[in-house]
Structure 1
Amino acid sequence: MLPRLFCLVGPTDDLSVLPDLARLGVRGFQVRAKHWSTRVDDRMALRLARDVVAAVRPHGATVVVDDRLDVALAAGADGVHLGALDLPVADARRLAPGLLVGATCRDADDVRRATQDGADYAGFGPVFDTLSKPGLPAPLGLDAISAATGDLPLLAIGGMDAPRAREARSAGAHGVAVIGALWRQPDPLLAARELLDAVA
């Protein structure tokens, strides 16, 4: 079953917290290393993905890798999440039929295309303003979630906290993906508990 809460994990995050998050009930982790691009960095990305898998899989959590099907496969991750400039979803599905495949979507048409191409879920956003990733388009708002439901489970992302996660679920999202709502909080475990309650 697709987790309702995904925690995005980057190279500067405190990986020692991951087993505790997984034990608490966070069942989705997405490895995200946007700024790595060289071959040396490929090895660092692979190491990060393997570290995340080792930290959370013993507790039953799912790990997807952002953008990189090759890293997902090499790390033994459960899936890959693909954006508009990444390997097409249909090709990822053909190359790795057993992996969970997510697609970044911004409207109902994107979701329909992702469904036809074989995606398992849509990362939908940004729903609200966010500080975690510069250069994003304007926030979509909750009505966009409602308009895009039906074809794929939607994981709302962008400016999420516990109250907004609850609103996203009410609007039709399957769950949420978060960065700052965990990593910028003084107590990530308390924040995770509140988010889990919000998306339950």
Structure 2
Amino acid sequence: MINRNFTQTAPELHLISTSPMDIPKLLSVSLAALPYLDYIHVRDKQLTAKDQLEVIQRMLESGIPLGKIVVNDRLDVALATRAANLHLAGHSLPVDAARPLAGGIRLGRSVHSVEEAVKAAADGADYCLFGHVYDSSSKPGLPGRGLAMLTATANACPVPVMAIGGIHPEQTGEIIRCGAQGIAVITGLFQAPDPAEEAYAYRKAMQAAWLERR
């Protein structure tokens, strides 16, 4: 059954943490770009539950709102921190196993095809993160899945689809026009000389394309 408790009213900008985790860098980039970010994902497969909990506590202490923090993979950490957001990867619990335990948590799922997105939505995901769209340094040697597959996924999926993978501000408009309802970035902000200025550029491009769609 599709969960429709969360409605999409504006395009979303997600920041995904780097791996291996660099907490000072995560905090500095997140705080600089915070006015333009909707969500910040704490993602590193090497982190233990205790480590992830400590990162989230550091984020909260630095002034990042809990509502903007997305716990990646670990349902136990999400419950322990009373998180508002949990994102499940391919190796995580299945959505239909996590959904009954997640209560009112906004639940996302990483997908790589139309079929995966449709199934995730049917199993209770509130949004899907599709990627990687373009060639990405995070996925060396793997070609991007392209705009046609993103469009097909967004058209078929009954919950919002976010896009990830090699997205720069100048490509953001076409991503939104393909039907995506947001984007997620890693190096686009972590390697930016001015993360706040770069986040603003993403936000401005998203908003312009979003208004064209309405």
Counterparts of 2:76 and 2:32, CA distance in 1:
28
Counterparts of 1:173 and 1:125, CA distance in 2:
11
| TM-score, normalised with respect to structure 1 | 0.88
On the 8 A contact 1:50/1:76 being kept in 2, the answer is no
Give the C-alpha shift of residue 186 in structure 1: 1.0
Do structure 1's residue 8 and structure 2's residue 16 form an aligned pair? yes
Which amino acid is 2:143 matched to?
A
Q: CA RMSD in A?
A: 1.9
Counterparts of 2:184 and 2:29, CA distance in 1:
17
Counterparts of 1:153 and 1:112, CA distance in 2:
11
Counterpart of 2:46 (choices 35, 38, 59) is 35
Give the C-alpha shift of residue 134 in structure 1: 5.0
Do structure 1's residue 66 and structure 2's residue 72 form an aligned pair? yes
Match of 1:173 in 2: 180
Indicate the SS of the match to 2:87: strand
Counterparts of 2:138 and 2:193, CA distance in 1:
17
Which amino acid is 1:145 matched to?
L
Go from structure 1 to structure 2 and tell me whether the alpha carbon gap of 1:160 and 1:53 turns closer, same or farther (over 3 Å shift).
farther
Indicate the SS of the match to 2:64: helix
Runs of 4+ off more than 6 Å: none
User: Deviations 1:26-81 (Å, cap 9, x if unpaired)?
Assistant: 11111111222xxxx332211112323443217xx522111111112222321111
On the 8 A contact 1:49/1:72 being kept in 2, the answer is no
Match of 1:189 in 2: 196
Counterpart of 1:123 (choices 123, 129, 138) is 129
| TM-score, normalised with respect to structure 2 | 0.82
Which amino acid is 2:45 matched to?
K
Do structure 1's residue 81 and structure 2's residue 87 form an aligned pair? yes
Matched positions, count: 192
5+ residue gaps, structure 1, are none
Counterparts in 2 of 1:71-150, with a 5 A limit? 71-134=77-140, 137-150=142-155
Give the C-alpha shift of residue 133 in structure 1: 4.6
5+ residue gaps, structure 2, are 1-6, 208-214
On the 8 A contact 2:13/2:36 being kept in 1, the answer is no
Taking only the aligned residue pairs, the percentage that are identical comes to 34
